[in-house]
């Protein structure tokens, strides 16, 4: 207990120091960045040798490496080329094809834990919609979804090119809010939006919102974009809105979910897919609006390399161990 308290105080002091005393922002020069990379590599080789000798390093060392691989790249000045994949291009093309004034339905089906992956997509999506003068109808099948949408919009409006468009609530975009009922909500929206959203996020009656007054169901929607982190999400949208009501839909998914979307993508049920942070970065590149997705990709690269390194180390040790065992026998 006493030791815990000591550690806690140490953490507090470090935090205070970092908060008040350290000059900010910190950025490593390229040279320093490369030295850091080399040091990490050397440490990995050391672990490799230890593991081959049969001494597995503890969980905490592995954890530490992951932490380092994620945090240090924030301060590095390293750039990496990003290649555009076809499924991301499809989303971009679909939005670019819409005429100004087209109505886009955006369903936010995620909560804050998945925000790091999906929030950059949401921001880029709003920026693109505003640039193209599209009308956006926001809703959510997850209770926290509409809040995430509000956050993304606030962020979007800080960009001068978006702020200058003077987007008006009710006319250019609305937030219908959240409704419980999962796929049933989608099903009923198929006949009538208003029955599911009698009031919007702010309690305004549906009919007093000029943008949606004449929107009855999916047939009045030109394109739909769904950001999804699980159930209910893209699968339900595809099964109900796309298959039954013929909605045109693109989607942004967490990477975990993205793999299960490929069959739908190939089947043409989905028009475009942004998968995980990588999808977000590519989308930013396609729209030429660099944001957090691109920035985070450096950390992402590093962390993947670390995981791959650990798989290789673990397996190498495993095979050498097997060999030794067989030699003994």
Partner 1 sequence: MQIFGLWVAAFFTLGIISFLYKDNPWYKVCESIFVGISAGYWFVTLFWDNIYSLFYLGVAERGNYSLYVGAVLGLMMLLRLIPQIGWISRWPLAFVVGATAGLYIINYFASNIMVQVENTLTPLFADAFNQPTFSASVYNSIGNIVVAVGTFTGLVYFFFSKEHKGFMGGMAKIGIWTIMITFGASFGYTVMSRMSLLIGRMDFIFGDWLQLIK
Partner 2 sequence: MRREIPLIITAVVGIFFVLQYFIPHPPFNQLNGWFSDWFSIIGACAIWLGALNLIRISADKIYRRREDWGYAIIIIISFLLITIIGFWEGNAFRDSGTGFDWLYRFIYTPLSATMFALLAFFVASASYRAFRARNLEATLLLLAAFFVMLGRVPVGDALAGIFHVPESILPSSIATWIMNFINTAGQRAILIGIALGIVSTSLRIILGIERSYLGGE
Partner 3 sequence: MIVRFFAGKVSVKIKIAIICLIAQFFLVGIALSQPPTDSVIIDTLRTPPPDVTPVMVKSVVAKDNPNDDGRAVIISWDLSVDDHAGGKVTSYKIYRSEKRGGIFAEIGEAPSGSDQMMDNNVTRDEEYYYKVSAINELKEGGKTIWQVSSESDVVGPAKAVAQWFDTRRLNVFVGMIILCGLIIYYINQAKSGKKLFIRKISGLDAVDEAVGRATEMGKKIFFIPGISDVDNVQTIAGLTILGRVAQLAAEYETWIEVPVSRSLVMVTAKEIVKEAYSKAGRPDAFHEDQVHYLTDDQFGYAAGIDGMFVREKPATVFLLGNFYAESLILSETGNSIGAIQIAGTGQPSQLPFFVAACDYTLIGEELFAASAYLSREPKLLGSLKGQDIGKAIILAAILVGSLLETFNIFQLSKFFRVLE
Residues engaged in binding partner 1 (CB under 8 A): 1, 4, 8, 11, 15, 18-19, 22, 24-27, 60, 63, 66-67, 70-71, 74-75, 113-117, 143, 178-180, 183, 198-199, 238-240, 243, 254-256, 258-260, 263, 266-269, 275-278, 292, 296, 299-300, 303-304, 307
Q: Is 75 in the site for partner 2 (CB under 8 A)?
A: no
Q: Nearest distance from residue 122's CB to partner 3, in Å?
A: 21
Nearer to partner 2, 134 or 229 (CB): 229
> How near is the Cβ of 285 to partner 1 at its closest, in Å?
17
Question: Which is nearer to partner 2, 158 or 164 (by Cβ)?
Answer: 158
Q: Are strands 173-178 and 273-275 parallel, antiparallel or unpaired?
A: unpaired
Pairwise CA distance, residues 264 & 328, whole Å = 52
| Nearest distance in Å: CB 297, partner 1 | 9
In the complex with partner 1, the residue whose CB is nearer, 1 or 42, is: 1
Helices (H), the chain: 2-16, 30-52, 59-75, 86-97, 115-131, 145-156, 160-163, 183-189, 193-196, 210-213, 234-236, 243-245, 255-266, 276-287, 292-328
Using rule CB under 8 A, residue 318 touches partner 2: yes
For the chain, state the CA radius of gyration.
24
The residue among 189, 162, 172, 207 whose CA lies nearest residue 107 is 189
A 10 A CB-CB count for 39 gives: 12
Closest residue by Cα to residue 162 from 137, 201, 132, 138: 132
User: Whose CA is closest to 120, among 275, 329, 266, 313?
Assistant: 275
The entry of partner 2, partner 1, partner 3, none near residue 129 (CB within 5 to 8 angstroms by kind) is: none
Among 70, 157, 211, 320, binds partner 2 (CB under 8 A): 70
Give least dist CB 183 to partner 2, A.
9
Q: Which does 318 bind (CB under 5 to 8 A by kind): partner 1, partner 2, partner 3, none?
A: partner 2
Per CB under 8 A, contacts with partner 2 among 142-201 are: 144, 147, 150, 180-181, 184-185, 187-188, 191, 195
Q: Give the three-class secondary structure for 70.
A: helix
Partner from partner 3, partner 1, partner 2, none contacting 85, C-beta within 5 to 8 A by type: partner 2
Q: Can you tell me whether residue 260 is helix, strand or coil?
A: helix
Q: Which residue in 44, 204, 303, 320 binds partner 2 (CB under 8 A)?
A: 303
CA distance 125 to 148: 13
Measured distance CA(120)–CA(321) in Å, rounded = 45
Burial pattern 128-140, b for ≥16 Cβ within 10 A else e, equals bbbbbebbbbbbb
* Nearer Cβ to partner 3 (177/275): 275
Q: How many Å apart are CA 149 and CA 138, to the nearest integer?
A: 7
Interface with partner 2, residue 105, by CB under 8 A = no
To the nearest whole angstrom, how small is the minimum distance from the Cβ of residue 225 to partner 2?
Answer: 21
Contacts to partner 3 by CB under 8 A: 191, 216-217, 219, 230, 242-246, 256-257, 259-260, 268-269
230 contact choice in partner 2, partner 3, partner 1, none (CB below 5 to 8 Å, kind-dependent): partner 3
DSSP letters for 188-220: HHTT-HHHH-SB-TTS-BGGG-HHHHT--SGGG
- Shortest Cβ 243–partner 3 spacing (Å): 5
Q: Which two tokens stand for residue 50?
A: 């230890």
């Amino acid at each position: 207990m006493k030791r815990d308290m000591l550690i806690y105080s140490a953490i507090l002091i470090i935090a205070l120091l970092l908060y008040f005393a350290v000059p900010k922002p910190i950025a490593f020069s390229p040279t320093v960045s490369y030295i850091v990379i080399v040091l990490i590599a050397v440490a990995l080789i050391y672990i490799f040798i230890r593991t081959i000798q049969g001494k597995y390093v503890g969980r905490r060392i592995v954890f530490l490496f992951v932490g380092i691989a994620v945090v240090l790249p924030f301060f590095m000045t390293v750039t990496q080329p990003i290649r555009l994949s076809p499924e991301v291009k499809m989303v971009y093309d679909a939005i670019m094809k819409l005429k100004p004034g087209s109505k886009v339905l955006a369903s936010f089906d995620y909560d804050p834990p998945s925000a790091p992956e999906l929030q950059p997509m949401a921001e880029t999506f709003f920026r693109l919609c505003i640039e193209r003068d599209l009308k956006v109808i926001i809703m959510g099948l997850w209770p926290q979804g509409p809040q995430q949408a509000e956050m993304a919009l606030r962020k979007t409006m800080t960009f001068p090119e978006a702020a200058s468009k003077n987007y008006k609530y009710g006319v250019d975009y609305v937030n219908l809010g959240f409704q419980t009922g999962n796929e049933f909500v989608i099903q009923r929206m198929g006949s009538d939006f208003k029955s599911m959203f009698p009031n919007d996020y702010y309690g305004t009656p549906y009919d007093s919102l000029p943008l949606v007054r004449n929107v009855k169901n999916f047939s009045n929607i030109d394109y739909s974009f769904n950001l999804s982190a699980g159930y209910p999400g893209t699968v339900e949208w595809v099964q109900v809105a796309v298959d039954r009501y013929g909605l045109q839909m693109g989607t942004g998914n967490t990477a975990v979910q993205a793999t299960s979307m490929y069959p739908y993508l190939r089947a043409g049920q989905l028009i475009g897919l942004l998968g995980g942070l990588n999808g977000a970065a590519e989308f930013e590149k396609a729209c030429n609006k660099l944001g957090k997705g691109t920035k985070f990709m450096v950390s992402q690269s590093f962390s993947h390399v670390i995981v791959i390194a650990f798989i290789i180390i673990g397996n190498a040790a495993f095979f050498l161990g097997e060999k030794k065992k067989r030699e003994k026998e």
